[in-house]
Structure 1
Amino acid sequence: MLKRVAATLLLATAVPLAAQSPAPSPAPASTAPSMPATPPKLIVAISVDQFSADLFSEYRQYYSAGLKRLTEEGAVFPRGYQSHAATETCPGHSTILTGSRPSRTGIIANTWFDLSTGLADKAVYCAEDESRPGTSSDKYEASPVHLRVPTLGGRMKAANPATRVVSVSGKDRAAIMMGGPTADQVWWLGGAQGYVSYKGVATPPLVAKVNAVMAQRLAQANAGFDLPMQCAAKDFPVRAGDRTVGTGRFARAAGDYKAFRISPEQDAMTLAFAAAAIESMDLGKQAQTDIISIGLSATDYIGHTYGTEGTESCIQVDRLDKELGAFFDRLDKDGIDYVVVLTADHGGHDLPERYRLNAIPMEQRVDMALTPKALSDAVAAKAGLPGKKVIWGDGPSGDLYFDKGLTAAERAKVEAETLKLLRAHPQVETVFTKAQIAAAPSPSGPPESWTLLQEARASFDAERSGDLLLLLKPRVMAIPEQAVMGSVATHGSPWDADRRVPIIFWRKGMRHFEQPMGVETVDIMPSLAALIGLPVPKDQIDGRCLDLIAGDGDSCAGK
């Protein structure tokens, strides 16, 4: 039997996260009341990084704790959409609590390029301030400077300065995009030393204690996690480059931070931090409504490292369910009137090698010729500019930027040769020019019926987007075949596996319902704002309020 290791939920008394009693059973439908009329005292916004709608539904019958509570008692939208084309972490998190798509938030990707600055590092990371001396997209001081719109917490604080806004995550970009620039506290896992903040404040006693507990946990080896019954059929090895994945249990040596980060232990620690913050700050226990956003990053790290269909991902979802259950039980014990929304920043795609073993032989990895350097070299040669870097990009899909040093004639030739090469490539679905995307109207209507151009428009920012947008065909993984494999799987495409995410609202006393029609993550913010009576001008956001009252009544009425 493998040893199960969990962080502590209530740090002061070392109560194990998974040792709490299960959530109470829901009241029978015939007697369940409607949504309480009074505003909740605490909003708990949870983003599970790379928790696709497919992953959510695959294990739904096995939920027994936190996810079971949400899905059996809450308002469930299993077909939510991160509706834009650039399904990456930073853009996705920017939509959840702003009510706005990346075209409005300005967060078009994890990384974009600014070729006009004259800086040596032309890449711009979404959560850096490149104007600070010595910063780069790899070594930076995290900052919310690129987020162009307020978050829900920012709007709440503007309406009532007493509102406390806290954001905790495993990643800096998740914490920053959900917390926003006016948050009181923003914390993320900064390495083996524990949680850090961009606020530049002295580490408060709570965080020092969290980091001490984490250091203690990290110093202990983890023999691994039990393999749940539902994971047994997934227990077989898959080879990708020099990597073998599919059979892991998250065993790690003492002090191995990388293994800690890419495991359920990371989410357990983040939830422990969030619970301790709620308790120590008395969030939800004063006159106003407070908000805490929680970014759980382990599912994403695991998906990239091991894929989404092995024992590793299966164990992670099982542990996520249990850790969430213990977290909610802790809030219940404290008597807090809270509302939960749980969603994801994007979906995910399994590695092609396992798809090919499991009935999808057409899955493939992207051709190295489509990587930015290879593409730039090929186009430069055809355009009569051999040896010159003419194209910049962050990978073999997404935005491509033409070098600013090209003359008008050179640029026209580079664009023509690039379009000709890409449109002839068998793995390319389409290439849009900047002018094409800019001319398209902002999308509307059901997100499941949008065209690729509409998805691209939802991700477009005239200042930050590239000169071309390259979109690969479905079932082409944007990680090339390599002898030495880093990440084995990824996301970021405009296809439904990456766009679809669950959206679930829960509050004690609400009547459960499920709505399978498509909605957007930008609908979350106005729906929560309506619950607390916070007016949000409709022309400032892209989302709409979702009625969370089953049957008669409308939680959006008059909002």
Structure 2
Amino acid sequence: MKAQLAALLASIALPLTAGTAAAQEAALESAQPAPPAQGTMPSTPPKLIVAISVDQFSADLFAQYRNRFTDGFARLLQGAVFPSGYQSHASTETCPGHSTILTGMRPGRTGIVANNWINQKAPRADKEVYCAEDERVPGTDHSNYTPSDLHLKVPTLGEMMKAANSASRVVSVAGKDRAAIMMGGHKIDEVWFWGGKDFISYEGRPVPPAVQRGREAVAKLIAQPQEPLAVPGFCRPLMRPIKVGDQTIGDGRFARAAGDTRAFRASPALDGAVFAIAAGLIQDMKLGQGNAPDIISIGASATDYIGHGFGSGGGEMCLQMAELDKTLGGFFAVLDSWGLDYQVVLTADHGGHDMTERQQQRAMPGESRVTADLSVKAIGEAVGKQLGIAGPVLLGSEGDIYIADSVPAKRRPAVIAETVKRLRGFPQVAAVLTREEIAAAAVPAAPPETWTLVERARASFDPERSGDILLMLKPQVVGIAKPGPGYVATHGSPWDYDRRVPILFWRKGMMGFEQPRSVETVDIVPTLAATINLPVQGLDGRCLDLDGGPGSTCR
């Protein structure tokens, strides 16, 4: 895989300065993590901020593999390490999580309450809205949409930087559109993401040379079959097949047939392509070389696709962690070769939970999958029959449940009461909260691990978009009733295995330290803003002092 990454970097990021792919491979192989820093945090602002989100990189995954990392992650472990970062809200999905990372605000303020929500006033038959779409575009629906930043209600750090100095450049690259858009914001110089067959952007945006080189290199890569990846020694004990529904997984090595874009997406190769294109844009745009600080956000999405498709506890995830470590190392080595002064932060949009079947084999017999009769459709039909109300009375999926506008106003209280009563009767249900109960709760200020369920719900509640009822399943209940290809495990719960993520900061010359107490992803923006002397206010997060000595980076 490292040879594959080297070839991508050589063809995308280094067309003018690199020699052969073999020469680049040798450079990557020789790049070792920098020795532990002995000084304090550099006093001058960094020229480039590199904000990396590893989708579904839970604190549990980080803890499991941190002693196995020898390359890119090993470098980050020499910086400021916060192993108990929190996506503190209840809606631990991809879009809400990404909306917190570079805004400094929780989903209740960013407006990104879920990956999808119901807008019954949407001017189309499909009332389900995807977080990164413009539902006003004629002929679209939530799965066939026009990418948009329409729904993000607040500015990102990049926008704040541009407001302070218009010379700052903002770039965002990711394996998912929602990752790129939610971290980049509304004013992005370049925004690119994997569209299923190619890297795409907003309609009509010109394709820069770095992205075109990336497209060509990735197309060439996909056109060739991928041989099974070599298995590191520490992954071999995890390479055990397990039956899940109609499939057997657990020992996959990411072999791929020529032309299989779906398998490419759920493999370490996707992350390699994202980082190679990011490096190409840094080089072509000369990011980090101007008079104002620049920022690039990078969404590494493969871990999430692999987690959903194979679970987080098997050989596939172990291979992904090993390959991502190499990818990060190669990327950092390239930035170093250009002499850039860059500040890195790496975190995740949410955690994740391994699939039920493997958990049951690993001393967790209480693990279960949600029962099929606990669906919004099934509950809605039962409530409508009980109350004699025709048509759909409930809309939504997973946690947020909406009372249909077609229900007469005078019947809504009865529908809510009956729905809550039925939901609370299920043994797999931990809590059922109404929008009134959530709205009445105070915004929490205590450490996030102490928050009540209603406080976690309050952090991701938007009165314009959240449902009328919020359903929360008990711990160890996976919200997939029937597993299938690409979807055997998930996240989205209010429990800490989905909320806890690592937050890692690194910059050359800083003195590293580890702080095991809880912090939040909303702390990232005020922390980074302080390093570039950018005043910010009104955020949900606080500045984290990255100086491991007596000094302070929080001014």
Q: TM-score range by the shorter chain?
A: over 0.9
2:472 corresponds to: 471
Q: Supply the RMSD in Å over aligned alpha carbons.
A: 1.6
Kept in 2, the 8 Å contact 1:116–1:404? The answer is: no
Kept in 2, the 8 Å contact 1:369–1:375? The answer is: yes
State the secondary structure of the residue aligned to 1:36: coil
2:481 corresponds to: 480
1:11-26 to structure 2, matched below 5 A, reads 11=11, 12=15, 13=18, 15=21, 20-21=28-29, 23-26=31-34
State the secondary structure of the residue aligned to 1:77: strand
Kept in 2, the 8 Å contact 1:246–1:306? The answer is: yes
Kept in 1, the 8 Å contact 2:526–2:542? The answer is: yes
Q: Deviations over 1:300-326 (max 9, x none)?
A: 000000000111000000000011001
Q: Deviations over 1:151-188 (max 9, x none)?
A: 00000011111111000000000000000110111000
2:554 corresponds to: 556
Kept in 1, the 8 Å contact 2:79–2:504? The answer is: yes
Alpha-carbon distance in 2 for matches of 1:336, 1:3: 23
1:237 to partner: Cα distance = 1.1
In structure 1, stretches of 5+ residues that fail to align are none
Alpha-carbon distance in 1 for matches of 2:441, 2:335: 46
Alpha-carbon distance in 2 for matches of 1:266, 1:486: 16
Q: Which residue identity does 2:550 align to in structure 1?
A: D
Q: Is structure 2 residue 194 aligned with structure 1 residue 168? A: no
In structure 2, stretches of 5+ residues that fail to align are none
1:117-128 to structure 2, matched below 5 A, reads 117=122, 119-128=124-133
1:373 to partner: Cα distance = 1.1
Query: 2:113 aligned to 108, 117, 125, which one?
Result: 108
Q: Which residue identity does 1:36 align to in structure 2?
A: P
Alpha-carbon distance in 1 for matches of 2:134, 2:441: 30
TM-score for the superposition, normalised by structure 2 = 0.96
Q: Deviations over 1:338-388 (max 9, x none)?
A: 000000000000000000111101100001111121111111112222x52
Alpha-carbon distance in 1 for matches of 2:21, 2:523: 36
Kept in 1, the 8 Å contact 2:309–2:485? The answer is: no
Q: Kindly, what percent of the aligned residue pairs are identical?
A: 56
Q: Deviations over 1:71-101 (max 9, x none)?
A: 1x10000000000000000000000000000
Kept in 2, the 8 Å contact 1:97–1:525? The answer is: yes
1:434 to partner: Cα distance = 0.3
State the secondary structure of the residue aligned to 2:67: helix
Query: 1:59 aligned to 57, 65, 74, which one?
Result: 65
Kept in 1, the 8 Å contact 2:33–2:71? The answer is: no
1:18 to partner: Cα distance = 6.4
Q: Is structure 2 residue 153 aligned with structure 1 residue 148? A: yes
2:492 corresponds to: 492
1:241 to partner: Cα distance = 1.1
State the secondary structure of the residue aligned to 2:83: strand
Q: Deviations over 1:9-68 (max 9, x none)?
A: 232246478650455454456xx1100000000000000000000001101111000001
Q: Deviations over 1:205-254 (max 9, x none)?
A: 22111100000111111111111111111111111111211010000111
Q: Structure 1 residues 15 and 327 mapped into 2: Cα distance closer, same or farther (>3 Å)?
A: farther
1:250-289 to structure 2, matched below 5 A, reads 250-289=254-293
Query: 1:325 aligned to 326, 329, 333, which one?
Result: 329
Q: Deviations over 1:521-552 (max 9, x none)?
A: 00000100000000001x2x101000000120
Kept in 2, the 8 Å contact 1:98–1:151? The answer is: yes
1:361 corresponds to: 365
Structure 1 runs of 4+ with >6 Å offset: none
1:169-248 to structure 2, matched below 5 A, reads 169-192=174-197, 194-198=198-202, 200-248=204-252
Alpha-carbon distance in 2 for matches of 1:486, 1:313: 14
Alpha-carbon distance in 1 for matches of 2:65, 2:177: 28
Q: Is structure 2 residue 515 aligned with structure 1 residue 515? A: yes
1:461 corresponds to: 462
Kept in 2, the 8 Å contact 1:186–1:199? The answer is: no
Q: Is structure 2 residue 395 aligned with structure 1 residue 392? A: yes
Alpha-carbon distance in 1 for matches of 2:410, 2:505: 54
Q: Which residue identity does 1:127 align to in structure 2?
A: A
2:90 corresponds to: 85
Kept in 1, the 8 Å contact 2:134–2:145? The answer is: yes
Q: Which residue identity does 1:296 align to in structure 2?
A: A
State the secondary structure of the residue aligned to 1:510: coil
Alpha-carbon distance in 2 for matches of 1:344, 1:138: 24
